[in-house]
Each structure stands twice: as C-alpha cells, then as structure tokens.
C-alpha cells in the first residue's frame, strides 16, 4: 500500500529537520504511540496502539531513521507486530524549501499482515491515509507550540 503526499511547514528545512529528528515530538505526534525508547543511534523501540474506534491493536516494534541527508531527506523504517498481525513501513521523507517554509514530501510504503489485513481491506487505505495525515497535523502543531 503506497501513501504519498506533501505538507508544508512554515519554518526553514533546518528547523523542520530538527523537529523530525526529535524523538519526543515524534512520540507525541505518532497516533497511539505509547512508548518510544532510544536503543541506539537513530534507533528506537516503540509501543503503539494503532487503529480506529474499537478496532485497535497494540504493536511492539522498532523505528529506525535511515539514509539521513540533513536537512534534505531521510527514511523511516518502522516494524511492528502484535495480536492483529504486523505492520512494516518504509517511509521516505523529503524536506524541500518552499518560500520561507518547508514542503515535506512523503511516500509511505505500508505493508500490513495478519488478521487485520484479511479483514480490513475495505478501509485500510483510507484509515492509513488518515493516520498519516494526523501525524503531520500534530507535527505542525509541535512546530507551532515550539515557536510560541
């Protein structure tokens, strides 16, 4: 499942890059992220309760920031598994100057497996898109909160 899009942040790439490398901000912005513990350079263990309404699953896994090219781009590698199955995400994020701000172009390759994949196909795409949208909204909020 491919989910692409772009979001603008009104801060220069350097600042946005910082934000997208701040574990605390990432934790707060990631929907359902309960824990995010640094276990190495750019490597985190996470516990996330992901889903919508009653259909939520708790996934344990790792988040890794790869192929860093500050402040231009990096890749997020997310691997999680839990009772509803597993989720593997390979997300490329690109930070492009746009006016005074930054346009973040993202392309998420989301792989879902196990029970939830076999039942949820009707809505997985839409829900995934929505969750990713929420993530970026919250990151924008993080930036604003920081600015104020």
Partner 1 sequence: MATRYFGQPIKRNEDPRLLRGRGLYVDDVQLPGMLHMALVRSPYARARIRRIDTSKALAAPGVVAVITHADLPANLQGPLPPLIPHPTLKHHKTQFALAPGQVRHAGEAVAAVVAESRYAAEDAAELVEVEYEPLPAVVDMEKALEPGSPLVHEDIGTNVAAHYTQVVGDVEKAFAEADLVFEEVFRPDRGQAQPMETRGVVAVYDRNLETLTIWDSTQAPIRIRSGLAELYGMRANQVRVIAPNVGGGFGPKIMMFYPEEVLVPWLAMKLGRPVKYIEDRREHFFATNQERDQVHRVQVAVRKDGTILGIKDVFLYDTGAYIPYGLIIPIVASCTLPGPYKIPNYHAEFKAVFTNKTICSPYRGAGRPHGVFVMERIINRIAEELGIDRVEVRRRNLIQPDEFPYDVGLIYQDNAPLRYDSGNYPGLLDKLLKLIEYDQWPARKEQYRKEGRYVGLGLALYVEGTGVGPYEGARVHVEPSGKVWVATGVGTQGQSHQTTFAQIVAEELGVRVEDVEVVTGDTGAFHWGTGTFASRAAVVAGNAVALAARDVKAKALEVAANLLEASVEDLELADGQVRVKGAPQRAVSLGQVAVAANPLRGTIPPGQEPGLEAARYFNPPQSAFSAGGHAAIIEVDPATGMIKILKYAVVHDCGRLINPMVVEGQIHGGVAQGIGGSFYERLVFDENGQLLTTTFMDFLIPTAMEVPDIVIDHQETPSPLNPLGVKGAGEAGVIPVPALFVDAIEDAFSGYGLRFREVPLDPNRLRQALAEAGVPGAGSTAA
Partner 2 sequence: MKPPRFRYFAPTSVDEAVELLSTHADAAKVLAGGQSLVPMLNLRLARPEVLVDINRIESLSYLRVEDGHLAVGALARHRMVEKAPEVAARVPVLQEAVRHVGHVQIRNRGTVTGSIVHADPSAEMPAVLALLDGSVRVVGPSGTRDIPWQELFLTYFTTTLGPDELAVETRFPLPPAGAGWSFMEVARRHGDFALVAVAALVTADETGRVKEARLSLAGVGGTPVRPERAEALLAGQALEDDVLAAVADAVREAIEPESDIHASAEYRRHVAGVLAGRALRAAMERARRGGEG
User: Which residues contact partner 1 by CB under 8 A?
Assistant: 81, 83, 85-86, 88, 111-115, 117-119, 121-122
User: Which DSSP string corresponds to 65-117?
Assistant: EEEEETTTEEEEEEEEEETTEEEEEEEEEEEEEETTEEEEEEEEEEEEESHHH
**Residue 28 touches which of partner 1, partner 2, none (Cβ within 5-8 Å per kind):** none
The one-character DSSP state at 90 is E
Q: Could you tell me the smallest distance in angstroms from the CB atom of residue 55 to partner 2?
A: 5
Query: Closer CB to partner 1, residue 49 or residue 83?
Result: 83
Query: Closer CB to partner 2, residue 71 or residue 120?
Result: 120
Q: Could you tell me the smallest distance in angstroms from the CB atom of residue 142 to partner 2?
A: 21
Q: Could you tell me the smallest distance in angstroms from the CB atom of residue 39 to partner 1?
A: 17
Q: Which of residues 105-124 bind partner 2 (CB under 8 A)?
A: 115-116, 119-123
Neighbours of 39 (CB within 10 A): 11
Give the C-alpha separation, 127 to 112, whole Å.
Answer: 12
Chain centroid offset of residue 41 CA: 18
Query: Closer CB to partner 2, residue 43 or residue 129?
Result: 129
**Residue 7 touches which of partner 2, partner 1, none (Cβ within 5-8 Å per kind):** none
Q: Which of 69, 58, 71 is nearest to 17 (CA)?
A: 71
């Amino acid at each position: 499942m491919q989910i692409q899009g772009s979001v603008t942040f009104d801060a220069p790439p350097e600042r946005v890059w910082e934000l997208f490398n701040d574990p605390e901000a990432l934790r707060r912005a990631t929907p359902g992220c309960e824990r995010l513990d640094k276990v190495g350079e750019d490597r985190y263990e996470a516990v996330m309760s992901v889903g919508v309404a009653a259909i939520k699953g708790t996934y344990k896994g790792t988040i890794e920031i790869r192929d860093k090219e500050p402040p231009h781009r990096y890749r997020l590698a997310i691997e999680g598994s839990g009772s509803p199955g597993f989720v593997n995400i390979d997300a490329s994020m690109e930070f492009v100057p746009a006016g005074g701000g930054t346009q973040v172009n993202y392309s998420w390759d989301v792989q879902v497996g196990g029970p939830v994949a076999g039942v949820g196909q009707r809505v997985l795409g839409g829900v995934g898109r929505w969750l990713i949208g929420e993530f970026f909204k919250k990151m924008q909020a993080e930036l604003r909160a920081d600015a104020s």
